[in-house]
Structure 1
């Protein structure tokens, strides 16, 4: 059996659990790939905006941003400390002190731009790292163009694409599919088109789902 397993992932650049979930999925895939009967795993990311009303460039701290979303101020510090600790457990060095809040719709367009050129996974990783680790600007055309150059893309062409909303329709199509699936929070993983996994689950959970799908494909092909 050689049929690959497809994993469709809805996530947002500004979602801390999405980056953590990405790492846990990667660890789970690595565990699964150690199995004798493992098959290739293909990943495709889809756009989801957790906070589409966020300004292009929010001038304020992360704590101030969360306060505008209704989080009790006394709970914000402990919550961020917990998330930072979980991120560190999977090798991610979150830096909330330098994080620059931004609207992510242009970042999603850049990921679609990269997808059309066979670089979606690299772009997704770079943008998540830029946001949560490097404190880079991911909401403006200039900021995104700078990051795109690091990925090997032509800066002028990226500026052209983002300025014209070339991939905005693709972003909206992803969002409509999420609505059709009933996805209300991210990360959300759809494995082989039929199993939904919500949240940043442990690597073993992802590995087990992949094994289950592999078993089912083997039975069908028998």
Structure 2
């Protein structure tokens, strides 16, 4: 059964939602039958690569929301507490505001290598915990290397327009499905979870969806793989 997740690596609730899903899956006995696919969703594509208040997320959010600096700090501390409950450590005092397109392009490249989940985790940690600048190509190269991408892979991610098209296509798909924001989880193309629900709540939806999925797929042929040959004389041992 497939779970699709739309997120932005600079969305604090997306990282929390990731941890809560992992907590749900840890309690799910049939988790080996679950496939997770990460999808891109830029919360604000209009943000400049290095915007005003780049090095002060409190001032950036205060200016965007029309609130005081003190209110912005308090609002972020509430999120820090939520993150801590999920086992995460947020350092908003170090978080560097930037446009997230480059990070999404890197994730799209990682997905072609089967490394989408690793890319999400590394980028989330880099932004919220380490305060890395995700607009810096050298930083993205380092992070890509950390998950198994080559320098060439990262360069292609940042220069080949196909990866930007993939980011845009994911966002368009989310809007077609009715997503108003992220995180946005779609389970078996039937159930949607909008927001960072608790692990317990996510587990309930997961169990309901899986029971239906299992019933619908109960007649599928179960194959035990042995030595075979395929068209084109490709043989496996």
The CA deviation at 1:161 is 3.0
| SS at 2:55 equivalent | coil
Alignment partner, residue 57 of structure 2: 62
The answer to whether the 8 Å contact 1:141/1:163 transfers is no
Consecutive aligned runs of 4 or more in structure 1 exceeding 6 Å deviation: none
The answer to whether the 8 Å contact 1:57/1:102 transfers is yes
CA distance in 2, matches of 1:164, 1:214: 38
The CA deviation at 1:145 is 1.2
Superposition TM-score, scaled by structure 1 size: 0.91
In the alignment, structure 1 residue 192 sits paired with structure 2 residue 188: yes
The answer to whether the 8 Å contact 2:16/2:196 transfers is yes
Superposition TM-score, scaled by structure 2 size: 0.86
User: Taking structure 1 as reference, are residues 166 and 141 closer, same or farther at Cα in structure 2, changes over 3 Å only?
Assistant: farther
| SS at 1:190 equivalent | strand
| SS at 1:91 equivalent | coil
User: Taking structure 1 as reference, are residues 134 and 60 closer, same or farther at Cα in structure 2, changes over 3 Å only?
Assistant: closer
> Deviation digits for residues 104-157 of structure 1, max 9, x if unmatched?
011111001000011110011000000000110112322211211112221133
In the alignment, structure 1 residue 44 sits paired with structure 2 residue 20: no
In the alignment, structure 1 residue 96 sits paired with structure 2 residue 92: yes
User: Taking structure 1 as reference, are residues 48 and 94 closer, same or farther at Cα in structure 2, changes over 3 Å only?
Assistant: same
The answer to whether the 8 Å contact 2:188/2:213 transfers is no
> Deviation digits for residues 145-193 of structure 1, max 9, x if unmatched?
1211112221133123312334111111101101111211100100011
| SS at 1:150 equivalent | helix
The CA deviation at 1:7 is 0.5
User: Taking structure 1 as reference, are residues 218 and 158 closer, same or farther at Cα in structure 2, changes over 3 Å only?
Assistant: closer
| SS at 2:65 equivalent | coil
| SS at 1:57 equivalent | coil
1:82-121 correspondence runs (5 A): 82-121=78-117
Alignment partner, residue 155 of structure 2: 159
The answer to whether the 8 Å contact 2:59/2:72 transfers is no
| SS at 1:20 equivalent | helix
